Amino acid sequence: MPESLAPGVYVEETSFRSRSIEGVSTNIAGLVGPARSGPILCPAGILTSLADFERIFGGSARLQFRGAVGTGTGESDNFLWHAARAFFAEGGRRLHVARVFRPLPNSQGGEPSYPPNFTDPGYSPFNLGSAEAPLWNDGHGRVQIGSLLTFRSRFPGQAGNRIIRLRVQAGNNVLRAAKDPARSTPSHPVYRPKLGALTHGDIVRIERSGSLSTVGYYRAEQDPVRKVWRFVDGSSATPVGRTIEELGLVASPRRGRGDAIRVITLTVQVLSEDRDQAPDTWANLPLDPTHQRNGSPDSVFARFHDGASGIGEARTLPLVVNPPPTGTTGLHVVEALQARWLADHPGATTDSWQEGLSRGQDLELRMQGGHDGQRPGAIEYEGRANDGAGITTGLRQLEDVEEISIVAAPGSTTPYVRGGDRQQADAIVGLLIRHAERVRYRIAVLDSPPAQSPAGIRDFRAKFDSKHAALYYPWITVLDPVSQRELNLPPSGFVAGIYARTDINRAVWKAPANEGVTLAIGFEQLLNKSQQEVLNPEGINCFRFFEGRGFRLWGARTISSDPEWKYVNLRRYFIYLERSIDRGTQWVVFEPNGETLWANVRRILEDFLLNEWQSGALLGDKPEKAFFVRCDRSTMTQNDLDHGRLICLIGVAPLRPAEFIVFRIGQWTADRRD
C-alpha cells in the first residue's frame, strides 16, 4: 500500500474478486504451401475470408512449376487456394497462411541458397555476389523505361506478370495573379505573379500565354532562407535556377490568359494479367526521387521502395520501383516517360505529347519474367528464421503466431503419384508433426497421398507416430470452380474447417467426426465398412458416403500408438486446457511462494474446471469425480521451494467419443421374473 506520511484522507481502490482463467480459442488454423503471389519473408496476418486470401496470395489459377524437386516440370493445382476455400466453406473463420517458394537455378546451373536476403522485407532478387554475374532467376516480373524506371513485382510468381498503366499529367495552373497595392490605382489595377501550392522538388511545365509553346521542363526549388522560388532548367548543360521575374512570366486574373506553371505528376495503376480484377491505383505521385512532403519522401520511387514502410505494405504492395541511378532528377524521369510514349505511338510528335499532357498521357506496360519457380521441397516447408531481422519463412513463420491451434500443408503429399520424390513428401509430413510437437499447443492435420489403395495408405501411416497429428483418407472430390470439372483435393483444408465448425457450434471436446463435408461431390475412393474396419484401428480417419446422409467424416483418431491419446478431441481438449491455464496464470510468476498463493492458484483452477464440468466437458456426476486440484505441501518439497518452483497437480476426467454404439437385444417374456 502507498506510504501515508502526512495526516489526511487517503482513498484507495481494491478488488474483491479473484482472478479467473479464460478459455483460449481453438479454431484458428495455419496453412503452409505455394501460392500464386504474396509475401514469403513476412507473416500475412489473419485472414477472415477467401477474398482476404485472394487479395494477398492471388486467385485460383493453377501453378506452373518450371522445375521441381524430383517431380519434373508442369502444372499443379493451386492446393493452397483450394484449402483456404474449403476451410471457410466448412465453417472456419480465421486463418493464417505461410507461403513457400523455391527459385529456379541460376544461369550457370547453381542451386540458390534459400531464402535469399533476410534483411529485405521486399524479397530482393538473388545476387551471385558480383556486379558482372547474372542475377538469380528469382521469379519476379519486370519491365523498364530506359535506364531510369525499372518496375518489378514485389513478390515472385507468375501472377507478378501484371499490367502497369502510367498516366503522366500536368495539373492545374499554380501561377496566380495577385493585385499589387503599391502600384495599383482604382482605375488601373496592376497585377504581379504569385505562386499557389508548390512543393520543393516538383517538376513543372511552363506555358507561354496559354499556348503550348513551352519553355521546357523545370524543377522547382525554394531557397530555405529567403523563401524565394527558383526554377532549374533541365535542358541546360549547366543548370541554373531562375525566378519568375527572371523568366519573364506574366500572370493574368482572367482564366485561361497569361502564362501557366503546371506540376507534372504520375498516376500508377496495377492490373492483373487477365484484367479481371479492379486495378490498384496510386494517384499524383511526384517524379523527383528527392521529393518530400512534410519531411517524408513521397515520390514514385519512395512510394514503391523495396523496403516497405510497414508490415501492411510488405504484405500487399504489389510493385517495386528500383532506385534510379545517382544524380537522376524528376526532369530526367519525365523526359524518359515522354520518349517511351513517343516510341509506343509511331508517327506522334512532341507537340502531340504536349497537347495531351493537360488531360493526361497514358502508357501501358506489361511485366515479364515472373514464374512460380520449382515445386517447393522439405527445405522450403521447414523454413528458416532470422531473429535479428525479424524475418521467418515456412513453418517457422507459423511458430511465431501463438493463436494457431490447427496446422496443415495441403498438397504436400502430391509427389507420391506424380513421378516424384516420395522422400520429399515424407519429410514434409515429418516436419509438420515435429512442428506441432515443438509448439505443443496445436495439432497437425495430415493429408494422405493421392490415389492410394487401403494397403498403400496403411504403408504410409506406418511411417509416423504422434499424439499431435491425425491422418485423413481419401482425397475429396469437388467441382473445380476454375475448370468446372471434377477435381480431387487433399482433405486437410476441409478437416481444418470441420474442426473449427465443431468448436464453434459445439465445443472443442466434441469429436470432429460424423460431420458433413459441404463442398464434396464424392471421394477419390469410396470405402465400405469392411475396409474401414482395417483402417480405423490404425488411426486412419476415413471419409465415407452414407445413403441418405451424404458425404461424412467418419473418424476421429490420432496416429499415436499410446492408447491414452487415441482420440483427436481428447488431444485437442487437453491442448485447450493446457494453453488456457498457461495464459491465465502468468500473473503467478514472482509472487511470494506460500500458502496464500497456493490457495489462490487452487481457487482459480477449481473455478475454471468447475465451469468446464458444468458445460459438459468432463465425466462425473459430481465435481469431485470430474477433477481435482492439489497445490500444497503434498505437491512440493522444500527443495522445490528453495529453487522457486510452485507445483500444482491437476487431474481431469475427460469425455471420450462414443465410437462404437452397441445395443444388446434379447427375447423377454412377460411372465419372467427377474
Burial 282-291 (b: 16+ CB within 10 A, else e): eeebbbbbeb
**Burial (0-12, 13-18, 19+ Cβ within 10 Å), 407:** buried
How confident is residue 127, by pLDDT bands cut at 50, 70 and 90?
A: very low
| 233/498: higher pLDDT | 498
pLDDT of residue 65 exceeding 90: no
Predicted confidence at residue 212, as pLDDT, reads 54
Residue 557 per-residue DSSP state: B
Half-sphere exposure (Cβ direction) of 105: Cα atoms closer than 13 Å: 8
Higher pLDDT, 89 or 70: 89
Is there a contact between 319 and 152 (Cβ–Cβ < 8 Å)? yes
Average pLDDT rounded to a whole number, residues 510-521: 95
Query: What pLDDT, on a 0 to 100 scale, did the predictor assign at position 93?
Result: 95
Amino acid 71: pLDDT: 45
- Residue 41: pLDDT above 60? yes
Closest Cα partner for 274 from 170, 162, 361?
162
Rounded Cα–Cα distance for residues 369 and 366 (Å): 10
The region of weakest confidence among 119-123, 227-231, 395-399, 667-671 is: 119-123
Report yes or no on whether pTM surpasses 0.85.
Answer: yes
Identify the residue whose cell numbers are 492446393: 79
- Looking at 3.40.50.10490, 3.40.50.11780, 2.60.120.10, 3.40.50.150, the CATH number of the domain 28-101+372-570 comes to 3.40.50.11780
Three-class DSSP category at 118: coil
Higher pLDDT residue, 417 or 623? 623
In this model, does residue 421 exceed pLDDT 80?
Answer: no
pLDDT for 53 equals: 95
Q: Which of 31, 32, 43 is nearest to 92 (CA)?
A: 31
- pLDDT tens, position by position, 423-441: 899 999 999 999 999 999 9
pLDDT at 257 (0 to 100): 72
Tell me: the pLDDT tens digits for 345-375?
998 888 889 888 988 999 999 988 888 888 8
What pLDDT score was predicted for residue 109?
Answer: 47
Written as nine digits, the cell of 207 is 506555358
pLDDT of residue 192: 72
Given pLDDT bands bounded at 50, 70 and 90, which one contains residue 648? very high
Q: Looking at per-residue confidence, does 425 or 14 come out higher? A: 425
Q: Is residue 84 classed as helix, strand or coil in its secondary structure?
A: helix
Would the pLDDT of 509 be above 60? yes
Asked whether residue 191 carries a pLDDT value surpassing 90, the answer given is no
Better-predicted residue by pLDDT, 304 or 258: 304
Q: CA 647 to CA 632: how far, in whole Å? A: 8
Chain mean pLDDT for the chain? 86
Question: Can you tell me the mean pLDDT for 404-431?
Answer: 87
Tens-digit pLDDT profile for residues 438-474: 999 999 999 999 999 999 999 999 999 999 999 999 9
In percent, the amount of the chain with pLDDT more than 70 equals 88
pLDDT of residue 2: 64
Distance of CA 374 to the CA centre of its chain: 21
Q: What is the mean pLDDT of residues 501-523?
A: 95
pLDDT category of residue 553 using cuts at 50, 70 and 90: very high
* Cβ atoms of 323 and 304 closer than 8 Å: no
Mean pLDDT of 153-165: 89
- For residue 259, the one-letter residue type is D
Res. 391 pLDDT band, cuts 50 70 90: confident
Q: What pLDDT does 624 receive?
A: 94
Distance CA 296, CA 579 (A): 44
Residue 560 in contact with residue 467, Cβ under 8 Å? Answer: yes
Residues 309-338: tens digit of each pLDDT:
667 777 888 888 888 888 888 999 999 999
Percent of the chain residues topping a pLDDT of 90: 54
pLDDT for residue 131 is more than 50 = no
Q: Fill in the amino acid letter for 346.
A: P
Q: pLDDT of 202-214, one tens digit each? A: 999 888 875 555 6
On the question of pLDDT at 16 being above 60, the answer is: yes
pLDDT tens-digit profile of 230-242?
888 866 556 678 8
More confident of the two residues 245 and 264: 264
Residue spans of the domains in the chain: they are 28-101+372-570, 163-366, 594-674
Rounded to whole angstroms, the Cα distance separating 233 from 607 reads: 78
Residue 280 has pLDDT above 90, yes or no: no
Minimum mean pLDDT among 266-270, 421-425, 541-545: which range?
421-425
Of 364, 335, 339, 336, nearest in space to 349 by CA:
339
Residue 43's pLDDT band (boundaries 50, 70, 90)?
confident
Stretch 85-109: mean pLDDT: 86
Of residues 446, 579, 558, 572, the one with CA closest to residue 510 = 572
Pick left, alpha or beta for residue 81 (phi over 0 → left; psi -120 to 50 → alpha; otherwise beta). alpha
| 537 pLDDT higher than 70 | yes
User: pLDDT tens across 137-155, in order?
Assistant: 678 888 888 888 889 888 8
Average pLDDT for 12-29: 87
Per-residue pLDDT band for 181 (boundaries 50, 70, 90) equals low
More confident residue, 571 or 321: 571
Measured CA to CA, the distance from residue 401 to residue 67 in angstroms comes to 31
